Amino acid sequence: MSELYRFGISIPKDLIESFDQYIREKQYTNRSEAIRDLIREKLVKRDWDELGSDKEVVGAIVSVYDHHKRELLALLTEIQHEHYQNIISSQHAHLDHDNCLEVIIVKGKAKDVRLLGDKIKSIKGIKHSQLTMTTTGKDLV
Ligand code: NI
């Protein structure tokens, strides 16, 4: 673990009261871990948000769709083959008679992974699709 660095900050009383309420709701046991998590979130977000980012990222695309739509299935498969270099694995669950859940674990340059997420999300018939953006963990402690 990296050496701990301590610093003091000035903050309006109302703001710290709201923050303390937030960290209780989020089950943190102290402010330090909550603040560390907020910093990490911002750093991960920066890697993803930079336009045309070449940062190496990891994520998961979670999608729900009706498997009776054959064109959708063909397109979903085609897109995944186009982007096979950005896909680590995928898992499929049959939710009920009609609906399927697919989780695709993705990695690569943020711009490529985002493009893959956008292509899947925009397929006609996908009921919901979300790219969860996280980090390789290499640059975070
Ligand atoms: Ni299914």
| pLDDT, tens digit, 9 for 90 and up, residues 13-70 | 999 999 999 999 999 999 999 999 999 999 998 888 877 889 999 999 999 999 999 8
**Among all chains, which residue has been given the structure tokens 């990695």?**
107
DSSP per-residue string spanning 26-44: TT-SSHHHHHHHHHHHHHH
CB 113 within 8 Å of CB 106: yes
Query: From the CA of 136, how far away is ligand 1's center (Å)?
Result: 29
Q: Above 80 in pLDDT, residue 105?
A: yes
pLDDT tens readout for residues 106-120? 999 999 999 999 999
Q: What residue segments make up the domains of the chain, in order of their start?
A: 13-49, 56-135
Distance 101 CA to ligand 1 centre (A): 7
pTM for this one?
0.84
Distance 102 CA to ligand 1 centre (A): 8
Q: Which of 78, 96, 100, 95 is nearest to 87 (CA)?
A: 78
Domain range 56-135, CATH class: alpha beta
Please tell me the distance from the alpha carbon of residue 72 to that of residue 126, in angstroms, as a whole number: 8
Token readout for 76 is 């979903």
- Cα(92) to ligand 1 centroid in Å equals 6
**What separation in Å is there between the alpha carbon of 127 and the centre of ligand 1?**
14
What average pLDDT does the chain have? 94
Dist. CA 62 → ligand 1 center (Å): 13
